[in-house]
Structure 1
Amino acid sequence: MAAAGAFSPLSGTLLRRRIPLHHHRRFLYIAAAASEAPAPAPTPSQPPPPARPRGKGYFPKKNEILELTCEGLAFKGKGVCKVDGSSFVLLCDGALPGERLVARVRRLRRGAFAEAAKLKTLSPHHDAVEAPCPLAADCGGCKSQSLAYPAQIHHKYVQVRDLLVNFGKFDPRKLESSDSDAVLKPIVPCDEIFRYRNKMEFSFGTKRWMKREWKEEKEEVSKGEEVETDGYSLGLHAPGFFDKVLHVETCFLHSEPADKVLAVVQGSWTDPALGLTPYDVYKHTGFLKHLMIRTGRNVSTGAPEVMVNFVTSCYKPELLVPLVDRITKISEVVSVVNNVNTSVGNTSVGEQEYTLYGKPTITEMLRGLTFQISANSFFQTNTKQADVLYKLIGDSAGLKGDGSEIVLDLFCGTGTIGLTLARSAKHVYGYEVVPEAIADAQKNAQLNGISNATFVQGDLNKINETFGKEFPKPDIIISDPNRPGMHMKLIKWLLEVKAPRIVYVSCNPATCARDLDYLCHGVEEKGLSGCYELKRVIPVDMFPHTPHIECVCLLELC
């Protein structure tokens, strides 16, 4: 159970109550909006504001079309919008702060808030810039391109702060004190806001989908639709749809060599002479499922290395030969592989993998270490900012450097964090549920000559009373869970083992705030007492133009 905030439709204020963990998702957006400061009361010399047409008790109806004003951004990047004169919150995807817009009410959330679909912009938002990508508003991959980057990171910082206050129950005065002891540090921006991704995955589709522009006819806003056009498609899935693919000619997020590969494939694969067909997710026929492009670096020369991965429904390498011949003319391409996924599912991981050209892996450097990356390896998708992130993790861990300390790396993935700390530690123990990631971690340790790291496959959501007995008590624990955060079993174990320091690395500030609350303030319903003090939270922008935020949090034993 965890404390969370919910809006009262009558007062617009935050209500404190305990809610089950599986209900947290319903409150993620609300927490960010709930911390808005109330408008100052008029002084006696000021006249009262004029009456509004809608009172605070206003409640919209489903499919009602409204004029809204966006007042901020909630977690996951949705606009926090209100109707003039009402405190009722509507969350609208694509709305940005300061924008006035027309939207249709889509879902009502038990009186707490509603979700709306943006139909038309009446007046632009604050800090507006022209988005370089013509698909920025439609594909959903980087929908904040039209918001100036300083404004993007400001709103991300505000989201982290509000979630720490409303979910984590931390004192805002300590979070943002004026001296150097402030717990919440300024957000670390990303130096390169385009071309920063080292991996992109595109899908093949049987139809090309494009979003129809909203029209205004006879003073009424018509309902928007996705329209189907003739021709095959290679691109990104339309937001919320597994079967609709937006055709993408170029992407501003991945590297320029990767863009060259995309251009060659786009210009070749629909040639009737090649006999290539996209996979149909309904009929379960067709050959091409996905195109994955990864970019690394040659560790000797620093030159980019590109891996191209074709995911197909069966193994027919002869069909791919013409494409392979064309893309390997690009000098940066050093690897072409074929993942074969024979299931009706449309995932990009195959049951079998075949190397069609060059080597089966590419390499990358991170914090002075070399990592081999296969088609399905997990690796931070923004390499340069990952280097910044890992330095912050190392600084927060505060290893003495004399080789006397035990580090426990939870949710270690391919071992990147633990291996960067191993040279200053006595021993690193890593735990990860994915066996392939453990195998990659062991290979990376061997590749870098690191012998004081042990990686174990295990599910940290299913630990029992024997967990922790196979290694010494840790001096420092690194926890880097996926978006759902840590399971209560692991929280309980952490509170029992009482390691002197925990560095919590989070890709979801909502579940991060919840887990920090548990570790610092305890869990009353479970009879657990908190035993840590939150010393530092550093937000890091890993993915410009998206709503995603990383946080590095330092906790010390009280």
Structure 2
Amino acid sequence: MNKGSYKKNQIVNLNIEDLTSTGEGIGKIDGYAVFVDGCLPGDYIKARLKTIKKTYAIGELEMFHKSSKERVEPPCLYFDECGGCQIQNLNYTKQLELKKKIVLDAMTRIGGFDESDIRIFETIGMEEPYGYRNKAQYKVSVSKKIGFYKKRSHHIIPLEKCLIQKDDGAETLKVLNAVITKFGLSVYDENTGKGVLKGIVERISGLNGEIMIILVINADNLENDKKIAEFIMQNIPDVKSIYININKGRSNRVMGYENKLVYGKEKLTDAIGNVAFEISPLSFFQINSEMTKVIYDKVAEYSALKGTETVFDLYCGMGTIGLFLAKAAKEVYGIEIIRDAIEDAQINSKLNKVDNALFIQGKAEEKIYELLDEGKRAEVYVLDPPRKGCDEKLLEVIKKTLPAKIVYVSCNPSTLARDLKILSGEYKIEKVQPIDNFPHSMHVETVTLLVRK
């Protein structure tokens, strides 16, 4: 079947067999794929074809002939429009099964591994998969309403609360909407580049419930900033820190690089297990502290440190994994390209009285040579790269230095599978553990143990 067989606005019937990486249902007609939003595997639907491409079409749901038995009523009022939760309408147990399948599909399709050659465990999920996010990045519409982007657009859906936020955001949103009105704040218009308030970021400590509010502005200063801070403090007692963040660029970047403290503490304190971390406005800290603890426990289990090993923590961020492992290791060397993250790692090392961890700023694939030239060798490498995966040069270094173990923490199954394929000549993939760090989304974290052959 090809695109010439179908026309725009044609009605078709589809059995939905799978989901795309962004949550659209996939149906096929003689091998020709049709993507339809709002559908789940097991649905039998009528759809109208809206876009016709050579190898696929995009359809619009007209009606359900039969609904999937795994479909549930999403508790969020904004689910149909908001782009935050793609699969909140899918039974949570099935969400976990789906995420294991995503990892398995990547391993076989991209990595070229045989299913029988790799042990992929059942996805570890949350007991209560709501109220887990410790950070929200709110947008503000030109009509001065706070919310999130609509699916696949920059249209903003006004919100009263968000069920996956730690405190659901209801009180915060109410107060911040009042701030915009009371102080007559102009709102940034991305079409004209004019207006002041671009967005609002809220960070919440899972340790003590303290809140940091960051007002992102398209200016050098915010008029009435002290009065605004006082108003917020009076109405949200848990707010202990208020910043303005200067972001005058016209890109899609959420925050700029310059922050000004208006009120309160410079940093929040949070924790993963027994390790404390100070969080500044630009700090990268995992969104779901509860499941991050599960991830790091799994990293510790796979590392199986006895106290005599050296660990290279590559793509170390603000040192969270390295500090988590340090008490069980002889020494830890962390490498991260982002300078602010390394500064946070060094501060957090002192905060936790860790004296056997050294954090180095630079590219992992370059700085690792400096460690090797100094005679440093590590029995365990921990890899925690961004979504694009490991730099190919770093993988080549690993293949030359051949540490006994590699523990790979991934937020992207596709690049994980690609990198494991590169390492598979020298390493056996011992265990693959999917972990649900982002319930109701299509994202899945994976911790993989590789052992030298």
Report the TM range for the smaller structure's normalisation: over 0.9
Structure 2, gaps ≥5 residues long: none
Instruction: Letter of the 1:517 partner, please give it.
Output: K
Asked if the contact 1:463–1:490 (Cα under 8 Å) also holds between the matched residues in 2, the reply is no
Distance across 2 between alignment mates of 1:355 and 1:306: 14
How many Å apart are 1:467 and its aligned residue? 7.0
Alignment partner, residue 433 of structure 2:
538
What is the CA–CA distance in structure 2 between the aligned matches of 1:488 and 1:337, rounded to whole Å? 39
Q: Offset at 1:105?
A: 4.5
Letter paired with 1:285: K
Computing the radius of gyration over CA atoms, which structure comes out larger, 1 or 2?
A: 1
**Correspondence 1:510-521 to 2 at 5 A:** 510-520=414-424
SS of alignment partner, residue 315 of structure 1:
coil
Residues 104 and 119 in structure 1, CA contact (< 8 A), matched pair in contact too: no
SS in structure 1 of the partner of residue 80 of structure 2: helix
Are the counterparts in 1 of residues 226 and 263 from structure 2 also a CA contact under 8 Å?
no
Determine the structure 2 residue equivalent to 1:420. 324
Query: Distance between the aligned counterparts of 2:150 and 2:106, measured in 1?
Result: 29
Q: Does 1:259 align with 2:170?
A: yes
Report the Cα offset of residue 151 of structure 1.
1.3
Residue 69 of structure 1 aligns to which amino acid in structure 2? Answer: N
* 1:328 alignment partner, SS class: helix
1:67 aligns with 2:32: no
Q: Give the counterpart of 1:275 among 150, 174, 184.
A: 184
Bigger RCO of structures 1 and 2 (CA < 8 A, at least 6 apart): 2
Name 1:157's counterpart in structure 2: 100
Conserved 8 A contact 2:216-2:246: yes
Match of 2:39 in 1: 95
Is 1:198 the counterpart of 2:134? The answer is yes
Distance of aligned partners of 1:383 and 1:59 in 2 relative to their CA distance in 1, 3 Å threshold:
farther
Q: 344, 350, 358: which one pairs with 2:256?
A: 350
Please state if 1:399 is matched with 2:305.
yes
CA distance in 2, matches of 1:281, 1:254: 26
Change (3 A) 1:117 1:308: farther
Q: Distance in 2 between matches of 1:153 and 1:244?
A: 30
- For residues 28-77 of structure 1, the C-alpha deviation after alignment (integer angstroms, 9 at most, x for no partner) is xxxxxxxxxxxxxxxxxxxxxxxxxxxxx995456644332211224343
Q: Does residue 118 of structure 2 align to residue 118 of structure 1?
A: no
Aligned-partner Cα distance in 2 for 1:107–1:531: 45
Please give the alpha-carbon distance, in whole angstroms, between the structure 1 residues aligned to 2:28 and 2:39: 11
Deviations 1:356-385 (A, max 9, x none): 121011011112011000111000000111
Letter in 2 for 1:79: G
Q: 8 Å contact 1:197–1:382 — kept in the other structure?
A: yes
In 2, Cα distance between the equivalents of 1:469 and 1:79? 52
Structure 1 spans left out of the alignment, 5+ residues: 1-8, 11-56, 176-182, 207-230, 521-529
The CA distance in 2 between the partners of 1:492 and 1:107, in whole Å, is 42
Residue 442 (structure 1) aligned to one of 346, 371, 385: 346
Percent identity reads 33
Instruction: State yes or no: 1:431 paired with 2:431.
Output: no
Listed one character per residue, the Cα deviations across residues 273-300 of structure 1 (whole Å, up to 9, x for unaligned) are x221110112111110110001004xxx
Tell me: CA distance 1:554–1:107, structure 2 relative to 1, closer, same or farther (3 Å): farther
Give the TM-score normalised by the residue count of structure 1.
0.76
State the Cα RMSD in Å.
Answer: 2.2
CA positional deviation for 1:116:
1.2
Given that 2:111 and 2:418 are in contact with CA atoms closer than 8 Å, whether structure 1 keeps it comes out as yes
Identify which of 203, 223, 230 aligns with 1:318.
Answer: 223
Distance 2:49 2:145 in 1: 29
Listed one character per residue, the Cα deviations across residues 173-227 of structure 1 (whole Å, up to 9, x for unaligned) are 243xxxxxxx111110112211100001011121xxxxxxxxxxxxxxxxxxxxx
CA distance in 2, matches of 1:262, 1:388: 30
Q: TM-score, normalised by structure 2?
A: 0.93
Change (3 A) 1:321 1:117: farther
Counterparts of 1:220-299 in structure 2 under 5 Å? 231-241=143-153, 243-256=154-167, 258-271=169-182, 274-297=183-206
Say how many residue pairs are matched. 450
Q: What is the deviation of 1:160?
A: 1.2
